[in-house]
């Protein structure tokens, strides 16, 4: 009789243990299903901002601000299909004062794709061109005039040393008759009277003298 009671007690304990294990297994399954469902409902996708300009760009995307060097790209991740807020501006050159025209792009028309990665190229329209300068004249440049003598004339007072290095100056309005003038330290001029710009995207001009 004592043995029967012990055996019954053993099975009752084992049954409670099995029920407890089953409960834990069920809870684990529910957690797994919930996590899987969340990932299915909120997949992650990417957008890559590709800098096709001739200078660095400052990017603010969904409250994250970064600088992307020219010729480089950067990828951002978020929930697939979610809206994008922010924008892009040209930033920097060789002088830190951003001579020329500051350009900007609005990113609010984009959303993160349903899946994978979407590339957003940042291209400069044919309305603007970028100036590179290399000075081997023996005198520093003190001033640059772009589109001199026209309604679009722009003057920037910057120093371009006579060291033979290539400097990125900035963006300026592009026209079929665009020209450049550099004023040297002694007041003499270096003129590029007709640039013959191709008026395509991401154009630049190498002013080497």
Strand, coil or helix: 50: strand
Instruction: Give the pLDDT of residue 180.
Output: 98
Show which of 80, 101, 122 is a domain's final residue.
122
Q: Are residues 5 and 58 in the same domain?
A: no
Q: What is the pLDDT of residue 11?
A: 39
**What's residue 33's pLDDT?**
40
Which stretches of the chain score pLDDT less than 50? 1-39
DSSP symbols for 3-14: HHHHHHHHHHHH
How many folded domains does the chain comprise?
3
pLDDT at 97: 67
Give yes or no: residues 105 and 141 share one domain. Answer: no
Q: What is the pLDDT of residues 55-88, one digit of tens each?
A: 999 999 999 999 999 999 999 999 999 999 999 9
- Give me the residues paired with residue 143 across strands: 183
Whether residues 29 and 68 share a domain: the answer is no
* Contact indicator for 141, 135 with CB cutoff of 8 Å: yes
Same domain membership, residue 170 and residue 112: no
Domain containing residue 57: CATH number:
2.60.40
> In terms of domains, do 29 and 59 share one?
no
Question: pLDDT at position 132, please?
Answer: 96
Q: Which domain holds residue 202?
A: 128-208
Is the pTM of the predicted complex or chain greater than 0.85? no
Q: Residue 143: which of 112, 184, 193, 99 has the closest Cα?
A: 184
**Which of 122, 141, 164 marks a domain boundary?**
122
> Each residue of 92-116: pLDDT tens digit?
677 766 799 999 999 999 999 999 9
Residue where a domain stops, chosen among 92, 122, 152: 122
Same domain for 112 and 56: yes
Examine the domain organization and report whether 33 and 58 are in the same domain: no
- Regarding whether 113 and 181 lie in a shared domain, the answer is no
| Pairing between β-strand 44-51 and β-strand 104-106 as defined by DSSP bridges | unpaired
């Amino acid at each position: 009789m004592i043995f029967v009671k012990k055996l019954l007690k053993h099975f009752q304990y084992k049954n409670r243990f099995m029920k407890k294990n089953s409960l834990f297994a069920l809870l684990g399954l529910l957690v797994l299903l919930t996590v899987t469902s969340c990932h299915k409902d909120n997949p992650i996708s990417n957008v890559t901002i590709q800098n096709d300009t001739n200078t660095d760009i400052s990017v603010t995307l969904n409250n994250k601000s970064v600088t992307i060097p020219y010729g480089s790209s950067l990828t951002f991740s978020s929930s697939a299909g979610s809206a994008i807020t922010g924008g892009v501006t040209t930033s920097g050159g060789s002088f830190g004062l951003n001579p020329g025209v500051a350009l900007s792009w609005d990113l609010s028309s984009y959303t993160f794709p349903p899946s994978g990665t979407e590339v957003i190229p940042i291209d400069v329209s044919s309305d603007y061109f970028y100036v590179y300068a290399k000075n081997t004249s023996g005198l520093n440049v003190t001033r640059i005039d772009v589109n001199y003598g026209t309604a679009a004339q722009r003057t920037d007072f910057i120093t371009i040393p006579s060291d033979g290095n290539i400097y990125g100056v900035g963006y300026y309005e592009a026209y079929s008759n665009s020209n450049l003038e550099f004023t040297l330290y002694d007041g003499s001029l270096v003129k590029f009277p007709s640039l013959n710009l191709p008026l395509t995207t991401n154009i630049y001009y190498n002013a080497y003298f």
